[in-house]
Structure 1
Amino acid sequence: MTSGLCIRPFESRDAGDWGRIFHAAVHAVGARFYSPEQCAAWSPEVPPVERVLAHVEGRQVWVAVDDTDRAQGFIELEPDGHIDCFYLSPDCSGRAVGGLLYAQLEAAARVACMPRLYVEASEPARRFFLRQGFQEDARRDFDLRGVAMYNFAMSKLLRG
């Protein structure tokens, strides 16, 4: 727990906050590195609850919640070691929330004997993952909704 925050498993009631955090992070934090067009392609709107619930199906998802149990960030782990979404409310910047969420994810991956973790990290997330011991494998350039985008394929061996 840090600054009144704790980490717990995602619950369906968190889906609205998931969408709010995702959209806000893309347009506040992502906007420091990506153009307005890129941010609009990345998150054109707050995703509806039904889409969020379908998205998280089959994944382990942890949520950082404040002392009122309102979500402030989340991280997702797929069964093969892929970290898909990892977003924090822009208000949580510099409060060690990302580190707490990541520590929970890595601990679960180790318990599950996953040999490695991997992620396609945005420009701002790239620095975070480098600090967690990930290596940058390649820059990925792609189109999203007709807009040129990029991120970074990164990985971390957990054993061997």
Structure 2
Amino acid sequence: MGYSIRSFEEGDAEALAELGRAAIGAIGRDAYSEEQVEAWLSNFAGPEVYQAQADAGTQIFIATDDDEVPVAYAMLEQTGHLDHLYCHPDHTNEGIASSLLETAALYAKYHGITHLFTEASEIAKPAFESAGYTAMKKRTFEIEGVEITNWAMVKTIEPASQAKNTA
């Protein structure tokens, strides 16, 4: 099966909200307790957030399958904050997250964003590390009284204007 990456389009919001919830519900259980997953899900964004983010200038990169069905996505804010990276449970370990992270880094490079940063879950941390992010700190926070951990991670991006000319 092939995949392509495109930008957010009006009408994608519901599918992305469902995809994110499916990822947390299925994949999250590989590293978090049932109580932690339920707290995470209770705090997860609804579809209205995606359109609002896109309207505010956030880039939402969506990987779709051959039928144009969204199977993964990443949200990159203009500040360099990579807010979401979610893959549908049926499409993990296929290199899609890596492709989305590469797309976000290229966007950053050509739009003058010099640092990317994120809060990666225990599950997503290896994908970010493979994409050149460095773990800065393990974070512990609470959602509805339930402690959850993730990782503050950063990546430096060399601006396109500074790229070495190899010609």
Asked whether the two chains share a fold, i.e. TM above 0.5, the reply is: yes
**Structure 1 match to 2:163:** none
Task: Mark the CA change 1:117 to 1:90 in structure 2 (over 3 Å): closer, same or farther.
Answer: same
**Structure 2 match to 1:144:** 143
Q: Deviations over 1:17-71 (max 9, x none)?
A: 1011110110111111001111111113875432432344420001001111110
**Structure 1 match to 2:87:** 88
Task: Mark the CA change 1:153 to 1:32 in structure 2 (over 3 Å): closer, same or farther.
Answer: same
| Aligned residue type for 2:86 | Y
Q: How many angstroms apart in 2 are the aligned matches of 1:69 and 1:143?
A: 36
**Structure 1 segments of 4 or more deviating over 3 A?**
45-48
**Structure 2 match to 1:117:** 116
Q: Deviations over 1:64-91 (max 9, x none)?
A: 0111111001001011111001101011
Query: CA RMSD for the aligned pairs?
Result: 1.7
Task: Mark the CA change 1:48 to 1:83 in structure 2 (over 3 Å): closer, same or farther.
Answer: closer
**Structure 2 match to 1:158:** 157
Q: How many angstroms apart in 1 are the aligned matches of 2:102 and 2:154?
A: 15
Q: How many angstroms apart in 1 are the aligned matches of 2:80 and 2:53?
A: 16
Residues 1:34 and 2:32 aligned together: yes
Using the size of structure 2 for normalisation, the TM-score is 0.88
Q: Contact conserved, 1:116 with 1:157, CA < 8 A, in 2?
A: yes
Q: How many angstroms apart in 1 are the aligned matches of 2:140 and 2:65?
A: 36
Residues 1:9 and 2:7 aligned together: yes
Using the size of structure 1 for normalisation, the TM-score is 0.92
Deviation at 1:113, TM superposition (A): 1.7
| Aligned residue type for 2:13 | A
- Could you say what secondary structure the match of 2:126 adopts? helix
Q: How many angstroms apart in 2 are the aligned matches of 1:74 and 1:143?
A: 25
Matches within 5 A, 1:10-89: 10-44=8-42, 48-58=46-56, 59-89=58-88
Contiguous gaps of at least 5 residues in structure 1: none
Contiguous gaps of at least 5 residues in structure 2: 160-167
Aligned residues: 158
Q: Deviations over 1:114-145 (max 9, x none)?
A: 11110000001111111111111001111112
Q: Contact conserved, 2:116 with 2:156, CA < 8 A, in 1?
A: yes
Task: Mark the CA change 1:45 to 1:148 in structure 2 (over 3 Å): closer, same or farther.
Answer: closer
Q: How many angstroms apart in 1 are the aligned matches of 2:75 and 2:5?
A: 13
Task: Mark the CA change 1:15 to 1:96 in structure 2 (over 3 Å): closer, same or farther.
Answer: same
Higher Rg of the two aligned structures: 2
- Could you say what secondary structure the match of 1:29 adopts? helix
